[in-house]
Structure 1
């Protein structure tokens, strides 16, 4: 029997790091020794200190997720090395990637914010046993599980190196059944929940240099290998009926007992205004809150068309406009202009219009960002509906026709006392990239790491603070008072 090395993967909460490190030491004593321990997520972000009162028994590696790294760690970065010793047995792995060869000759790759331009720098003559993805899931697995946290760059690395383990993190624990490559390697994918979530947040395992030949595994089709069956499954999925979500289960319905009322800014007669969960923009020196908000109908409707009323006759739509104009007036006191965006479809669960603040000088580049994302959508993602945006004003008759009769994606820019629309008509069926508006605006703002809201979630206390700051900012313009 070959010798195997033991490893421990943990996903600490930001405020629970000491508890997690104590757990790591306990596991080392009871179930170790571990050749290495890996910490997922934002372990020691900006504003947090390196833990000094605990000695680590296992060599431990940390990286970062969406938040900036601690100032104390930044101070230790004095050259271009990818591994930075933080303290005894604690090492920081710098973005975008780091390859770690351990004493056992097993090799780990830690990824963070990996992009296409980084791939040419990664050596190809190395066998990677374990890949740690600290931002996103592989796109193939994300698509298989119908979640929106996939990154195709990770897929390229996985197909190149065929690791035996892939680890990431998410709100809930998830483990994919093992799958096999043509070279005989079997791969397992696990995504750990966060410590304190009530779900599995740490995982210990052992592997040797050689691949185990376990003949009793229940293997699934390799999600990274294109097969005709995948296309057949997609057609079958399109043919399925739309899942009905009732108001008591709807994330946007006030009648849902789980509604996060600490995020509500204002409630009108037909709509309410809330800050966005996982905002694209963040608070900064010029704005004390993120400014990313949502206008949501109180009634559980997928779109205005579903009410059988023209937009001009809909009290929901008219109050939505009232909210928009009052928000535009409020933001005139800042250096920001507002962009409203919406994906309106009869197949939606609950209609909503989002908005974000953008510095005025950036608005001149909006068309370039839109054109780029349209080109990528139409050429690289062939299963998506082809998008063609029309630029128009609010008096445009074709705009009114689309609003009254069709599904659509729209951007509405309030700029220099003018309203500029960019709208694309959608077909009733066919795939639509639900992240498309956010991709456009993330490109405009140069925030490629903030496309997916669930990767940008803030602590509840920060959400409460943002909401209170928004209320103060908006108070003199809130027509519901």
Structure 2
């Protein structure tokens, strides 16, 4: 018995392209085929999250093409699908299409003749082949069970049910998912490994748990580029020595590099497998979801995020880390492996950054874009890390606009913090929504007013590249990303600051010596005046200070007085996550190149 299968990557609404291609392949010498399976986005067009700047012409062409033929029923009025077509969906944005066609998100169903949505998760038996499928995405935190507010979030119940359902069948022939399992590239020497920053930690641990539990003969997923792995042995999954899994990741239907998006095979479930060229089992077998741990940097594995950057190139670059780095990350407030991390504040984890709520936020929906690697600043990031930060920023812009008519002010204070010779500077961007009625000049003037009081003058960079050229990797600075993506910044001269600090310490000493001569009634007033004169040369809360002045909310200056209890923080984070997630999903996958261009030219 054999079944001839076609598998396709992201369609993204490009129905004519894919079905014309399928018809041609089906009529070729390789055909006819029995079934077409689709992973990734089926209905939804790829979203170009742009500011209208810095994109190549082919992106514009892609947008133009994707605006054609989005209604599958209209498209099929004058043609019939040549193969039974089964698909999963990728994001929340595609649910509206299922609702339009009266098909259940959970259980799946028929859209029209020869077209079927599989459902959230399950196993389909087709002509003797067993096909396991999983719509949606792994998210953080992994919920125990289905949440109607996040209907496509993969849950612990989904994982356990899918693995348990395997017992109803002899084996699983094909698995369809939208994401890679973490560790899939372990043992791979393909050139793709050399082109990726940290390939051995690409993927999600919850997908890995499913793959390990199901041990499918074929696992199909999707990505920007086509990739086919050597088969690996499933001996660590409790399978027989001849059990192999072949992993393939398909590109999108529309791509300008002719990447492979359609895979054809004549699958014979009973055929003997050749283990000669197979690699060893690539995955760690420790329990996932509760505690993530793979080889390399531990700073991301706890929460099932995607592609990790080990920071190797950074270590070899301009700012080498000390041998105490591991201890630093374990003690750092922001490192994901840290014992001090307050994980209930995490909103979402991306490929290079994660989004969190601050403690004692200035206003509602104040957020932090935090670099996953323990790096000190925006300037020290790689291009991919900056791109991921801007993906969050673009999603926040849209969220703020629709939820309160606000715009984000983004600031970063990069001044080294060392304790016992350990570097505790973990860079992050503070993102604060302010009323859109505030003009950009109002924002600039507000920051400059405070800077003038401290003896500084802001420089203005018209775009990110100009800022990165002006500020060196080892320089301390303060920057503000304005609503139009231009940047104002201060470069802080440490030698000058040190000299001023020494002079101020002398003043403080004089103040303390003179305090005893004052009457009690005058002491408090004079001490306050003197303290104002001897504030740190560049105060820790400069950005916060400027914004509370701008918004005229001085009571929010001290973050410690704005802290909520943990129950309130958890509720606040969950509510924001549910409201924000659709805006983030619109940006597409972290590891494709359709995200924001992080320049404003």
Instruction: Show the counterpart of 2:130.
Output: 106
Q: Matches of residues 411-450 of structure 1 in structure 2 within 5 Å?
A: 417=553, 418-419=556-557, 421=559, 444-446=576-578
Q: What CA distance in whole angstroms lies between the structure 1 residues aligned with 2:218 and 2:541? A: 48
SS in 2 for 1:55: coil
1:303-360 deviation per Cα after TM superposition (whole angstroms, max 9, x unaligned): 723799xxxxxxxx9xx99xx78x6243789xxxxxxxxxxxx899x9988899xxxx
Instruction: For structure 2, list consecutive stretches of 5 or more residues without a partner in the other structure.
Output: 46-68, 137-152, 187-192, 288-292, 299-309, 320-377, 419-426, 440-472, 484-531, 561-571
| Cα pair distance change 1:278/1:118, threshold 3 Å | farther
1:252-272 deviation per Cα after TM superposition (whole angstroms, max 9, x unaligned): 88xx999x9xx9xxxxxxxxx
Q: How many residues align?
A: 347
The CA deviation at 1:288 is 10
Instruction: Show the counterpart of 1:161.
Output: 214
Asked which structure has the greater CA Rg, the reply is: 2
The CA deviation at 1:205 is 2.1
1:3-26 deviation per Cα after TM superposition (whole angstroms, max 9, x unaligned): 432211112442422111111111
Instruction: Show the counterpart of 2:118.
Output: 93
The CA deviation at 1:153 is 2.3
| Cα pair distance change 1:307/1:48, threshold 3 Å | same
Q: What CA distance in whole angstroms lies between the structure 2 residues aligned with 1:194 and 1:275? A: 20
Q: Matches of residues 332-411 of structure 1 in structure 2 within 5 Å?
A: none
Greater relative contact order (CA < 8 Å, ≥ 6 in sequence): 2
Q: TM-score w.r.t. structure 2 length?
A: 0.45
The CA deviation at 1:89 is 1.1
Q: What CA distance in whole angstroms lies between the structure 1 residues aligned with 2:590 and 2:296? A: 31
1:54 corresponds to 2:79: yes
Say which of 210, 213, 226 aligns to 2:273: 213
| Cα pair distance change 1:102/1:19, threshold 3 Å | same
Q: What CA distance in whole angstroms lies between the structure 2 residues aligned with 1:304 and 1:285? A: 28
Instruction: Show the counterpart of 1:42.
Output: 41
Q: What CA distance in whole angstroms lies between the structure 2 residues aligned with 1:54 and 1:222? A: 44
Q: Matches of residues 218-229 of structure 1 in structure 2 within 5 Å?
A: 218-225=278-285
SS in 1 for 2:98: helix
Q: What CA distance in whole angstroms lies between the structure 1 residues aligned with 2:403 and 2:274? A: 57
Instruction: Show the counterpart of 2:459.
Output: none
SS in 2 for 1:69: helix
Aligned Cα root-mean-square deviation (Å): 5.5
Q: TM-score w.r.t. structure 1 length?
A: 0.55
Instruction: Show the counterpart of 2:589.
Output: 455
| Cα pair distance change 1:239/1:283, threshold 3 Å | closer
| Cα pair distance change 1:79/1:218, threshold 3 Å | closer
Instruction: For structure 1, list consecutive stretches of 5 or more residues without a partner in the other structure.
Output: 247-251, 264-272, 298-302, 309-316, 334-345, 357-394, 405-409, 423-439, 469-481
The CA deviation at 1:239 is 7.6
| Cα pair distance change 1:34/1:355, threshold 3 Å | farther
Q: What CA distance in whole angstroms lies between the structure 2 residues aligned with 1:241 and 1:257? A: 12
Instruction: Show the counterpart of 2:172.
Output: 128
